[in-house]
Amino acid sequence: MGQVWHQNAVIYQVDPGRFFDTNADGNGDLRGVVEKLDYIASLGATTLWLNPFYVSPGRDNGYDVVDHLAVDPRSGSEDDICWLLEETRKRGMRVIVELVAQHTSDQAYWFQEARKTPQSPFRDFYIWSDTPEPNEPAPMFPTVEPSIWRWDEEAGQYYRHLFYHHEPDLNLSNPLVVAEVDRILLYWADMGVAGFRIDAASHMVEQAGAGQKETGYALFDRFHDLLMPRNPDTILLGEVDVSVEEMKHYFDEGERLTTLLNFWINKNIFLAMAREDASPLCKALEELPVPPERCGYCFWLRNHDELDMEDLDPEDYAFVMDKYAPDEEMRIYGRGIRRRLAPMLDGDERHLAMAHALLFSLPGTPVIRYGDEIGMGDDLRQPERESVRTPMQWDDTPGAGFSSADPQQFISPIIDSGKYGYQHINVAEQQARSGSLLQRIRELVHVWRELPEIHYHCFTHVTLSHKSVYAVRYRDENAATLMFINLSSQPVEFGCEEAEGLAGAQEVLADDNYDAPGTHLRLNGYGYRWLRLR
């Protein structure tokens, strides 16, 4: 079975405002992403996922969009995004941009016009009420927003905002609104992007169906039918935090969303690592609906938001939170963790490398968030999710190589003290040091890209006597790969007969120099070994 490009992609998530500043104004920019493309390519990444760079007040990391068709001057210009797309093409890479269409900024023209009079043609672009229902959904940020309804004095009505009060929800059951979203999609598709990461996709379904999900899914049928005739390789990557049973509706028969960001697996990765027990992750993977042939799942360790542990059993939830967020300041919204990966794993490079080996052993498209490849830390002094949105640490010069501006002008404070300060954690140091986290992840990614059999339709779990070892076999008509990842700090050894098919296998990746598999296979604490048979 042939793969489509996104099933063998490695996605690198970049926040352009916090990556590299070329004009010394303290804000990263699109030109900065271009300047660092060779670094991103050297990691083995094939696809860039750009966080929003559209015109925005910047009150929600750019997700509060004023104009979806214009580049924010702080990020650069339309020429810069064209240049970025051209330079990625030269390197055989692709670019995914954000579709933020569940809401807009309250500064957007549509909303400013909608407020003026009930007769405004834009009034019905948003969702209004004279008397909000008390049993509405809870706010997405319950510790910040008391309700999803906000009184607007000028409009003389309440408007709905599932997220922040400065982000009014769009009425996606209005055909005029959907036509505007079509225009946004076509604009960027014609510009040459490879696809869209659809923000708040499951909430868009509810809004498009006016509360009826069954009719709301048609929104994604429409997007699919709009884009695929232009480019059948376009990816629609949905932020879909829903139950396992609901996931199949987002794929339908392969003619809705292409790929789902899989939050259920994300939670269970951390549960498995916390308990040093692979079984929760194996169980969660086996529960997933098998995606249609051209579709798939997207997996990650950390992203730009909180690590949401909601939906775990109460005992598991408490265990993970106590393990990875023991202090109240590390927690957020009554459901999640506002820390980067490295501090959660105590900065242990072996542990961090193992976590990435685990990520790349899963049957889907892996995402690496900028800075995770060097073990960047977080800044818990910053509010809410800003703690995990600090500037990239390139070297140990003042400003961390991110910007030559006065650090007081930076878009976010740089981490400048402690074990995660840029003086210790930076790209230059790890480029130069053999066996660094950066070098390990680079090797891991390059090996993974040479294993086309790693695919959702080809995987089976291998049950071992050691519960701490996650073991999986991938097999197609040409090759088989067996992967073993030890979630425990203690070394383990097991008989090769437990993992049938090891005879004659060649080791393609390992955390150490091990003896060739004989009667037994050994793994260090936090060790990993990938073995391949042709």
Instruction: Give the active site residue among 80, 106, 169, 199.
Output: 199
Q: Where are the beta strands (DSSP E) in 94-206?
A: 94-99, 128-129, 149-152, 157-160, 195-198
Tell me which residue of 288, 328, 286, 333 sits closest to 308, measured CA to CA.
333
Kindly calculate the radius of gyration of the chain based on its CA atoms and give it in whole angstroms: 23
Angle between helix 218-227 and helix 175-191 axes, rounded to 10 deg: 30
Task: For 256, list phi and psi in degrees, rounded to 5.
Answer: -125, -110
CB 165 within 8 A of CB 60: no
Residue entry with tokens 């789902």: 260
| Annotation says 199 is catalytic | yes
Distances from the Cα of 167 to the Cαs of 110, 360, 409, 450, in angstroms? 12, 35, 26, 43
Taken in order 30, 35, 37, 42, is the CA torsion positive or negative? negative
Looking at residue 444, its amino acid is L
CB 233 within 8 A of CB 226: no
Instruction: Give the active site residue among 29, 64, 206, 239.
Output: 239
CB 258 within 8 A of CB 456: no
Distances from the Cα of 8 to the Cαs of 160, 219, 347, 372, in angstroms? 40, 27, 29, 20
| Annotation says 72 is catalytic | no
Supply angle C-alpha 125, 128, 130, rounded to 5. Answer: 155
Instruction: Report the 3 state secondary structure along 452-521.
Output: CCCCHHHEEECCCCCCCEEEEEEECCCCEEEEEEECCCCCEEEEHHHCCCCCCCEEEEECCCCCCCCCEE
Could you give the residue numbers annotated as active site? 199, 239
